[in-house]
Amino acid sequence: MTVTVINYDRAMGRWEPNARGRLEEAALELYGERGYEQTTVAEIARRAGLTERTFFRHFADKREVLFGGGTLLEERLTAAVAAAPDSAGPLEAVAAALDAVGPLFQERHERSRRRQAIILAHAELRERELIKLATLARALAGALRERGVGEPAASLAAEAGIAVFKIAFERWTDEPGEADLRQAMREAFAELRAVTAGTPAP
Amino acid sequence: MTVTVINYDRAMGRWEPNARGRLEEAALELYGERGYEQTTVAEIARRAGLTERTFFRHFADKREVLFGGGTLLEERLTAAVAAAPDSAGPLEAVAAALDAVGPLFQERHERSRRRQAIILAHAELRERELIKLATLARALAGALRERGVGEPAASLAAEAGIAVFKIAFERWTDEPGEADLRQAMREAFAELRAVTAGTPAP
């Protein structure tokens, strides 16, 4: 618990320690146990030991509980693109950014696996995920242009990076146990290079 | 007017010569004139000189008028991937497929420009377009696997190809006059190769 989090929750109303995280965990449990459609906001709040009002201070609806991390991810990715060495090419900068956010997911492997299973099972959630990925690609392209990368190189590098992320993420969440997301992303980048160069993958 | 179209329309009910195309044209006119939200299905049907009932034989709602070509595009793309020479690598096969469908769009440049402007102006239409592109990527990956391409190479080549298509298509619809979509796609593929190889674009 950091001072920032406490201040944030206080600013939103009654202080509930880590309300956001508890709501996310409660939602994932209930979606897994009884299904996404069958779960209500009231049930999520109850499972988390919080009120519906607290739920709606943090999330617009039960779908958004699954997508709450998007803004943080976008901030981290664009900051990492900005921080990449001057010598890095556009796709290298994107690869460095994805590498930098790997640990954010890695420590939540089981939670990511449960979340992914719920998303894959529902068309409306898959669509929301596509929108999130498109938003990330747009943000990455913007961060590359800030580095002086022209178009269409900036958009192509961003879209290619997000394709790598998507495919590596799916493979990673497909595997139980100790699978390594950063390793999966590095392998997918290598495969993309091989595919683009027209040579067979190693 | 081909025999196929006539049979198709007959099978659906009362025969209306090229009803589908007339509805598409009427919808684009009205969306451009008075805005997408402000246009009703009744108005589209009236402008096309047809009934609402005929409209609903062809499209689920006023949004789907803009996305009616998706199935044909998917069929053409996957057929072209299947027909690519055995020697073609995955991305080459995708590039050949995109090249093959270029003329479908080229002859509708003005219509594509009008459609794109409407889609870009509405979040729900941009989302529907993302879903269409994701569906095409999945179909392309499937066609590549049919050729014996393994994963993740098939998905990466498909996603990269769709990124090229998306970016080239946006540039093409940005330009009035005689812009060449196939040329734009070839340039975007060359740029993707340059970006992926880590060298500056030519």
Å between A20 CA and nearest CA of chain B: 27
CA closest to A150 among chain B residues:
B201
Calpha distance B202→B190 (Å, rounded): 9
pLDDT at B202: 36
pLDDT at B10: 45
pLDDT at B140: 97
Same fold, B3-60 and B69-197: no
- B130: chain A residues, CB-CB within 8 Å: 127, 130-131, 134
Question: What is the interface pTM, i.e. ipTM, of the complex?
Answer: 0.82
A4 pLDDT exceeds 50? no
pLDDT at B91: 94
> Residue holding tokens 């392309």?
B140
Chain B residues with a Cβ under 8 Å from any Cβ in chain A: 89-92, 127, 130-131, 134, 150, 152-153, 155-157, 159-160, 163-164, 166-168, 171, 187-188, 191-201
pLDDT at A16: 67
pLDDT at B15: 63
Which residues have C-beta within 8 Å of that of residue A145, sequence separation ≥ 6? Answer: A151, A154
Residue A163 and residue B152: Cβ atoms within 8 Å?
no
**Predicted confidence band at A198 (pLDDT cuts at 50, 70, 90)?**
low
Q: Are B128 and B67 in contact (CB under 8 A)?
A: yes
pLDDT at B8: 47
A190 pLDDT exceeds 50? yes
Residue B194 and residue A127: Cβ atoms within 8 Å?
no
Average pLDDT of the segment spanning B22-28? 94
Average pLDDT of the segment spanning A134-162? 95
pLDDT at B198: 63
- A67: chain B residues, CB-CB within 8 Å: none
Calpha distance A51→B139 (Å, rounded): 44
Where is pLDDT greater, at B201 or B174? Answer: B174
Over the stretch A84-125, which tens digit does the pLDDT of each residue have?
Answer: 999 999 999 999 999 999 998 888 888 899 999 999 999 889
A6 pLDDT exceeds 70? no
B11 pLDDT exceeds 70? no
Average pLDDT of the segment spanning B190-199? 84
Of A48-57, A163-172, B12-21, B116-125, least confident by mean pLDDT is B12-21
**Predicted confidence band at B16 (pLDDT cuts at 50, 70, 90)?**
low
How many CB atoms within 10 Å of residue B200?
A: 12
* Secondary-structure class of domain B69-197 per CATH: mainly alpha
Domain ranges of chain A: 3-62, 69-197
Q: How far, in Å, are A32, A53, A111, A112, A117 from residue A40 at the CA level? A: 13, 13, 20, 21, 19
Of A39-48, A182-191, B64-73, least confident by mean pLDDT is B64-73
What torsion, rounded to 10 degrees, do the Cα atoms A130, A132, A137, A142 define? Answer: 150
CATH 3.30.10.20 assigned to domain B3-60? The reply is no
CB-nearest partner of A131 from B89, B127, B168: B127
Average pLDDT of the segment spanning B137-164? 95
Residue A196 and residue B127: Cβ atoms within 8 Å?
no
The CATH classification number of A3-62 equals: 1.10.10.60
Calpha distance B61→B40 (Å, rounded): 9
Calpha distance B44→B59 (Å, rounded): 12
Residue B200 DSSP class:
P
CB-nearest partner of B167 from A156, A193, A195: A156
Average pLDDT over chain A reads 88
Calpha distance A192→A164 (Å, rounded): 8
Inter-chain contacts counted by CB atoms under 8 A, chains A and B = 99
Interface test with B, best of A92, A128, A132, A156 (most B CBs within 10 A): A156
Average pLDDT of the segment spanning A34-43? 95
Residue A156 and residue B195: Cβ atoms within 8 Å?
yes
B77-101 burial code (b ≥16 CB/10 A, e <16): bbebbeebeeebbbbbbbbbbbebb
Tokens of B71: 């199935």
Residue B152 and residue A171: Cβ atoms within 8 Å?
yes
Residue A91 and residue B199: Cβ atoms within 8 Å?
no
Å between B190 CA and nearest CA of chain A: 10
Over the stretch B75-132, which tens digit does the pLDDT of each residue have?
Answer: 999 999 999 999 999 999 999 999 999 988 888 888 899 999 999 999 889 999 999 9
**The dihedral sign for the CA sequence A166, A169, A170, A171:** positive
Residue B196 and residue A191: Cβ atoms within 8 Å?
no
A1 pLDDT exceeds 90? no
A157 pLDDT exceeds 80? yes
CA closest to B191 among chain A residues:
A153
Average pLDDT over chain B reads 88
**Predicted confidence band at B70 (pLDDT cuts at 50, 70, 90)?**
confident
Fill in the amino acid letter for B98. L
Residue A195 and residue B156: Cβ atoms within 8 Å?
yes
Residue B196 and residue A192: Cβ atoms within 8 Å?
yes
B4 pLDDT exceeds 60? no
A39 pLDDT exceeds 90? yes
pLDDT at B108: 86
